[in-house]
Structure 1
Amino acid sequence: MSKKYTLQKTPFIVPTDDGKHIAEHFGLATDGNQNISIAHMVAPPGWSEPFQTPEFAEYTLVVRGRKQFIIDDETIVLKAGESIMVDGHTRVQYSNPFDEECEYVSICLPAFSITAVHRES
């Protein structure tokens, strides 16, 4: 009988050069899943990404610290216990301009891919 679950004990650690820790538990890099990606992340103080307009929707749940979102022309700051869903095809910038780390969980539908994120240079 085949198992009706997948246990993930060794997420894929995404190499970064900005100090951010990304552990993808399910998604393209881990198990080839194109429908969803689930990642645990820790963003260091002062971290930011360029603006992007991803093809996928992204759900974020902040576990610890704060995370800033600039969505179109609105700035939103989430703190621990708060969450947000940003629709696909929405221009957004993610950052942690604060003095403490930000730990969060990110879920992308469909799965995150570098070709679908469309980061600005």
Structure 2
Amino acid sequence: MKKYTIQNKPFVVPTTDGKLIEEHFGNATDKNTEISIAHMVAPPKWKEPFQTPAFDEYTYIIKGKKQFIIDGEIIILEAGQSIKIEKNTRVQYSNPFETDCEYLAVCLPAFSIDLVNREE
């Protein structure tokens, strides 16, 4: 039995807001996983509602810029920068800029919609 897994066909999460989400490892691809790793592209002017996830989220910006509002503080990351947001922290993710933002997101424990706790 091999002790590695190569992911050639990530699960593309259906979205309605123009954001590309390709989960390489996580609950959509491997059910019982402890971590999720996703490649994402947020289009210009994209944003999500505020949320208080029950997981730590690590984000690495590959291209463009991404805005975070964390406990009322606005933080803008650019290509080459990364951030860890601890679980149970209120945050809003957005790309209010004119170009795509490409990034990697790693969640621990693995991303699950029932752990996001999005505000209406």
> 1:52 — aligned with what?
51
Instruction: Give the Å deviation of 1:73.
Output: 1.1
Q: Distance in 2 between matches of 1:33 and 1:92?
A: 26
Instruction: Return the alpha-carbon distance in structure 2 between the equivalents of residues 33 and 52 of structure 1.
Output: 24
Q: How many residues align?
A: 120
* Equivalent residue, structure 2, for 1:20: 19
- 1:102 counterpart = 2:98: no
Q: 1:51 touches 1:119 (CA, 8 Å); kept in 2?
A: yes
What TM-score comes out, normalization by structure 2 length?
0.99
- Distance, in Å, in 2 between the alignment partners of 1:33 and 1:66 is 32
Q: Provide the residue aligned with 2:31 in structure 1.
A: 32
Deviation at 1:20, TM superposition (A): 0.1
Instruction: Please tell me the root mean square deviation across aligned C-alpha atoms, in Å.
Output: 0.5
Q: Give 4+ residue runs of structure 1 displaced > 6 Å after superposition.
A: none
Q: Which whole-Å deviations, capped at 9, do the CAs of 1:44-99 have from their partners, x for residues lacking one?
A: 00000000000000000000000000000100000000000000000000000000
1:18 is displaced (CA, Å) by 0.1
- Asked if the contact 1:26–1:33 (Cα under 8 Å) also holds between the matched residues in 2, the reply is no
Structure 1 unaligned spans of 5+: none
Tell me how far apart the structure 2 counterparts of residues 33 and 41 of structure 1 sit (CA, whole Å).
22
SS state at 2:69 partner:
strand
SS in 1 for 2:115: helix
| Cα deviations by residue, 1:6-46 (Å, 9 ceiling, x for unpaired) | 11000000000000000000000011143100000000000
